[in-house]
């Protein structure tokens, strides 16, 4: 099923994935013959990193070589295989855990089930072999279970609603504002940052909810990837709740081997910045992603060593400031290049007001509000722009309400599946299906 699913994204991508998976499996076999061989482990990790580096970073590296040495080197455009950032990390985790002796050499089908498992292969979460392999070996999990299926279905429907109804609505604002970065006023830049933070969260966490929901229905438990990150009272806490599987991977395989927090304050700070530098670079081959990672790393360091600065504030204020800081950093994350990002940042420090908010509101063309817009245009055309601004504000209010409420896991964990919940989920599912005509590709497909 996983092979058929992934082949839908292109036979070439599938061949690359299978070849990389088999090479990693060969390294695992060699480690079974020569346990603890550091040479085999390093070779396996370097092969995976070379694969990721060629497809994801070769163009970025070549552009920088041309810029520094004023050359004009060219190469054919490399098409990025879908999910490569996620499955290469799974292979690295498998190789390193085999070297450490945390897992045994598995049969090829169990191993491939871990690498190719279709709910997680496109956008994660980055599951560790120690938590996934035992599940594929316990066939009793595959038996039908009504309560488990209901929990999985709940997760899937909530995730679908977050993606289709919230993420894609915010994407309209994000696409417009970042395209018009040079012309925005200060209020619009704030709107762009907040909308982008909502868009990325609902898009990625929505996917993870759906992936987890499908897995639960099949009797497989995926690791938590989002734990209500916008309820965090500090940037450090936010990153303990946001993209948890990536943070855990970098902590386990980079931060701790570098010494973690065991070698003094300066070394710990450097290790944190290295991890966030790699996190930014993992997200994309560009300086905007690197700056985004370093800005978050810097604030994690500050929060780690100056906790009293933030703890003196009320939790709700700390939560708001944490969210606004994250919204500020995503201006770099989403911007086309550094020039666009800096143009938007300048607006935050030099207030302007040419009234671009109204144009931004007009970009929010939602099929579900078509009848309302047409009725206002016919009855009171002078209020048309005002109604669109109100609808934009309503979208932000609904998004804020959702992130402050219980998350999908908490809702799905309720033991009692009532008639009212079944009705609400049915309506949400139907509404989401009707809105699929305006669906946009996932943000993390780019990575």
Specify whether 243 is catalytic.
Answer: no
**Cα–Cα distance measured from residue 4 to residue 24, given in angstroms and rounded to the nearest whole number:** 21
Phi and psi at 260, nearest 5°, equal 55, -130
Give the dihedral sign, CA 303/306/309/315.
positive
Phi and psi at 442, nearest 5°, equal -65, 145
Q: Hey, what are 82's tokens? A: 């879908």
Q: Hey, what are 436's tokens? A: 């699929």
**Cα–Cα distance measured from residue 201 to residue 225, given in angstroms and rounded to the nearest whole number:** 11
Closest C-alpha among 346, 315, 344, 117 to residue 211: 117
Active-site residue, from 283, 334, 347, 388 = 283
**Cα–Cα distance measured from residue 134 to residue 114, given in angstroms and rounded to the nearest whole number:** 10
Give the orientation angle of helix 168-179 with respect to helix 186-218, to 10 degrees: 140
Q: Which residue numbers are catalytic?
A: 283
């Amino acid at each position: 099923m996983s092979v058929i699913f992934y082949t839908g994204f292109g036979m070439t991508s599938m061949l690359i994935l299978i070849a990389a998976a088999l090479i990693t499996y060969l390294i695992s076999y060699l480690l079974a013959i020569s346990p603890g061989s550091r040479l085999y482990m390093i070779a396996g990790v370097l092969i995976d990193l070379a694969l990721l580096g060629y497809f994801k970073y070769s163009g970025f590296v070549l552009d920088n070589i041309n810029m520094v040495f004023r050359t004009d080197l060219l190469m054919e455009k490399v098409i990025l295989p879908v999910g490569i950032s996620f499955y290469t990390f799974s292979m690295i985790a498998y190789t390193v855990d085999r070297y450490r002796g945390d897992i045994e050499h598995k049969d090829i089908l169990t191993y491939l089930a871990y690498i190719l498992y279709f709910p997680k292969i496109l956008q994660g979460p980055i599951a560790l072999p120690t938590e996934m392999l035992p599940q594929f070996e316990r066939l009793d999990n595959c038996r039908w279970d009504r309560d488990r299926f209901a929990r999985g279905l709940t997760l899937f429907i909530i995730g679908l609603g977050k993606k289709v109804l919230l993420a894609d609505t915010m994407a309209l604002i994000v696409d417009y504002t970042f395209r018009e970065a040079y012309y925005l006023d200060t209020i619009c830049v704030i709107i762009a940052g907040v909308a982008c933070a909502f868009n990325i969260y609902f898009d990625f966490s929505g996917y993870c909810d759906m992936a987890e929901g499908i897995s639960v229905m099949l009797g497989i438990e995926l690791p938590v990837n989002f734990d209500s990150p916008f309820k965090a009272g500090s940037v450090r806490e936010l990153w303990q709740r946001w993209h948890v599987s990536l943070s855990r991977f970098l902590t386990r395989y980079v931060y701790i081997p570098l010494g973690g927090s065991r070698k003094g304050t300066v070394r710990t700070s450097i290790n944190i910045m290295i991890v966030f530098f790699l996190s930014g670079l993992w997200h994309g081959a560009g300086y905007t992603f690197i700056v985004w990672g370093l800005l978050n790393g810097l604030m994690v360091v500050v929060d780690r060593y100056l906790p009293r600065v933030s703890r003196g504030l009320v939790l709700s204020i700390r939560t708001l400031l944490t969210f606004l800081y994250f919204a500020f950093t995503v201006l770099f994350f989403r911007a086309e290049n550094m020039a666009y990002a800096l143009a938007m940042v300048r607006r935050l420090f030099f207030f302007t007001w040419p009234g671009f908010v109204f144009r931004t509101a007009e970009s929010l063309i939602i099929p579900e509000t078509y009848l309302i817009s047409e009725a206002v245009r016919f009855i009171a055309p002078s209020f048309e722009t005002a109604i669109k601004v109100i609808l934009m504000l309503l979208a932000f209010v609904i998004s804020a309400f959702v992130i402050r409420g219980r998350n999908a896991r908490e809702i799905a964990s309720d033991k009692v599946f009532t008639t009212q919940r079944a009705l609400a989920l049915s309506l949400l599912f139907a509404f989401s299906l009707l809105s699929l005509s305006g669906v946009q590709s996932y943000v993390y497909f780019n990575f």
